[in-house]
């Protein structure tokens, strides 16, 4: 099974840049998109039909605010059920979470909040981390495995961004943000890319300014966190740095059947 996460930074923009042409390259059984910034009814009907033919099991969680945030999960494999949001209005109005239940695990597609350059949303971001972790703990208490994927909007360690010292006081690399990744890893979750490749320097996001992607001046912001009992099923985690269409690249988790 192949699960791909991708912050598309605007679904309509992504479609205009060749998103559908990238689908055979990714060959994802489940595609988790973040920051879609649109509703399905805003898409060209022909494009929507093409999506539905490739991925017949679709879930959408757009934000209430037009042109902002939002998530979508497209699947070839039918989930047993799905859940939209966390049941917490202050987060759910921004369309940040979709859950798909499969026989062996719950898959969560998540767009974590950005703390903003002035730090004005750091508290909101940390509250979101805490609320999502409550959901994860509930699954683990019932003996259910989870896979969390998406744009975490946080680089965990210095290896995960090009200029750690220069960004030590910037949101996305603040100590209190990074600490939440540690907390998640202490709650029976594994960052499977870093576990498999402890010394590999790869990024998943590059700013559009300063020609950062060509220079590979980036951050690793997009993750798969997997419940510890599921780790033996992980075959690989692949950063598709060659796939364009967004300021993020897609990341694929390959699971043994």
Catalytic residues: 151
CA-based nearest residue to 7, from 208, 249, 241: 249
Q: Which residues of 25-127 form beta strands (DSSP E)?
A: 30-34, 57-61, 71-75, 81-84, 97-102, 105-111
Distance between CA atoms of residues 132 and 184, nearest Å: 10
Alpha-carbon Rg for the chain in angstroms: 17
Give the CA dihedral 203, 10, 134, 176, nearest 10 degrees: 50
**β-strand 234-239 against 251-255: which pairing, if any?**
antiparallel
């Amino acid at each position: 099974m192949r699960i791909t996460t991708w912050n598309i930074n605007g679904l309509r923009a992504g479609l205009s840049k060749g998103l559908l042409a990238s689908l055979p390259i990714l060959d994802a059984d489940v595609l988790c998109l973040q920051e879609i910034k649109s509703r399905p009814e805003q898409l060209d009907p022909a494009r929507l039909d093409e999506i539905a033919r490739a991925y017949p099991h679709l879930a959408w969680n757009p934000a209430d605010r037009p042109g902002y945030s939002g998530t979508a999960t497209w699947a070839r494999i039918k989930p047993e059920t799905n859940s939209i949001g966390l049941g917490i209005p202050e987060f759910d109005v921004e369309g940040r979470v979709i859950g798909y239940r499969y026989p062996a695990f719950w898959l969560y597609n998540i767009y974590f909040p950005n703390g903003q350059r002035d730090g004005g949303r750091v508290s909101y971001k940390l509250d979101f981390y805490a609320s999502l972790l409550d959901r994860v703990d509930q699954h683990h208490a019932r003996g259910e495995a989870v896979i969390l994927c998406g744009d975490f909007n946080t680089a965990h360690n210095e290896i995960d961004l090009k200029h750690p010292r220069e960004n030590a006081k910037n949101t996305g690399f603040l100590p209190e943000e990074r600490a939440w990744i540690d907390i998640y890893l202490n709650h029976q979750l594994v960052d499977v890319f870093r576990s498999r490749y402890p010394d590999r320097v790869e990024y998943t996001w590059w700013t559009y300014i300063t020609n950062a992607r060509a220079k590979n001046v980036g951050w690793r912001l997009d993750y798969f966190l997997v419940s510890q009992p599921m780790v033996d099923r992980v075959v690989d985690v692949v950063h598709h740095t060659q796939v364009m269409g967004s300021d993020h690249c897609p990341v694929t988790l390959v699971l043994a059947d």
